[in-house]
Structure 1
C-alpha cells in the first residue's frame, strides 16, 4: 500500500491563510478529496481557507500560481486524472505535476500535492478519503502544505 510509512503529524496552522484549488472532473472522488482537505485544515487550526474550482487538473498550476501570488501561506492542489486509451493521461499528469512544482519553487509558497494519477476509477476512489477508502490524499496534501509552511519558518 502506498500510504505505508506516512508520518503522523501534529500541526498548529492557526493564523495561516490557505487556498485550496480543486479540479472539477470525477465529482465523487473530488468531493472526497475536498472533504479530506477541509478536515485536515480544520484539525490543524487553519480558519482562513478559500476554495477555488477549476475545470480540470491541467488548470491547477495556473490557479495555484495566482493563489500563491496573492500572499497566502500555502496552496493545496487537488485533482484526479484517470488513465484512458490515449496519451492524454501522460500529458496532463506531467504538465500538472511540473506546473505545481514550478509554482512552489518559483514563489516559495508550499503547494500540497493532491493530484491523483490512477489507472482506473477504483484506484481513485480508494485514495479519495471516502468511507471505505484506504487512503485520504486530500487530507495528506493539506497536512503536507501546512507542515511545509511550518518547516520553512524554521529555516
Structure 2
C-alpha cells in the first residue's frame, strides 16, 4: 500500500490564500477528500480558503489554471477521483488531469496539491478518502503538500 514512508509535514500557512478545486463525481469519496483538505488547511492556520466545484476530474486543470493565473492565490489543492471502468476513458482522464495540473504548477509557479485518486475500484477510493476506516487521507496529503511547497518556494 502506498503511504509507507510518507513524511510528517507540519507547516505554518498563516496568511496564505488557497483555492480548493474539487470534482463532483463520487460524492462520498469527494466529501472525505474535502474534509481532509479543510482539516489540514485549518491546522496550518490558512484562513483564506475558497472552494470551487467542477463537474469532474477532467475539468480540474482549467479551474486550477484560472485560479493560479488570477494572482489571488498562493496555492491550489486539486481533488478528484477516477475509477477504472471497462473502456480506455480511465486512462485518458487520468493522463489529462495529471498532465494538466502539472502544467499549471510549472507554468504559473503556483503550487498545486495533487489529490486525484486513480483507482481500480470504489473500495480503493474509499480506502484513500480519509473517511472513518480509511487507511489514507489523500485530501489531507494534497493540502499539506500545497502549503509546504509554498513555504519552500518562498525560501528560494
Does the alignment pair 1:5 with 2:9? Answer: no
Helix, strand or coil for the counterpart of 2:127?
A: helix
Q: Within 2, Cα distance between the matches of 1:2 and 1:43?
A: 24
Q: 1:72-115: CA deviations, max 9, x gaps?
A: 00000000000000000000000000000000000000000000
Does the alignment pair 1:32 with 2:32? Answer: yes
TM-score (structure 2 length as normaliser) = 0.99
Helix, strand or coil for the counterpart of 1:79?
A: strand
Superposition pairs for residues 13-52 of structure 1, below 5 Å?
Answer: 13-52=13-52
Q: 1:111-152: CA deviations, max 9, x gaps?
A: 000000000000000000000000000000000000000000
Q: Within 1, Cα distance between the matches of 2:113 and 2:101?
A: 9
- Tell me which stretches of 4 or more aligned residues in structure 1 moved more than 6 Å: none
Superposition pairs for residues 56-135 of structure 1, below 5 Å?
Answer: 56-71=56-71, 72-135=73-136
CA shift for structure 1 position 69:
1.1
Q: Within 2, Cα distance between the matches of 1:37 and 1:21?
A: 11
Does the alignment pair 1:147 with 2:144? Answer: no
Helix, strand or coil for the counterpart of 1:32?
A: helix
Q: Within 2, Cα distance between the matches of 1:125 and 1:144?
A: 21
TM-score (structure 1 length as normaliser) = 0.99
Q: Which stretches in structure 2 are left out of the alignment for 5+ residues?
A: none
Q: 1:28-68: CA deviations, max 9, x gaps?
A: 00000000000000010000000000000000000000010
CA RMSD of aligned residues (A): 0.4
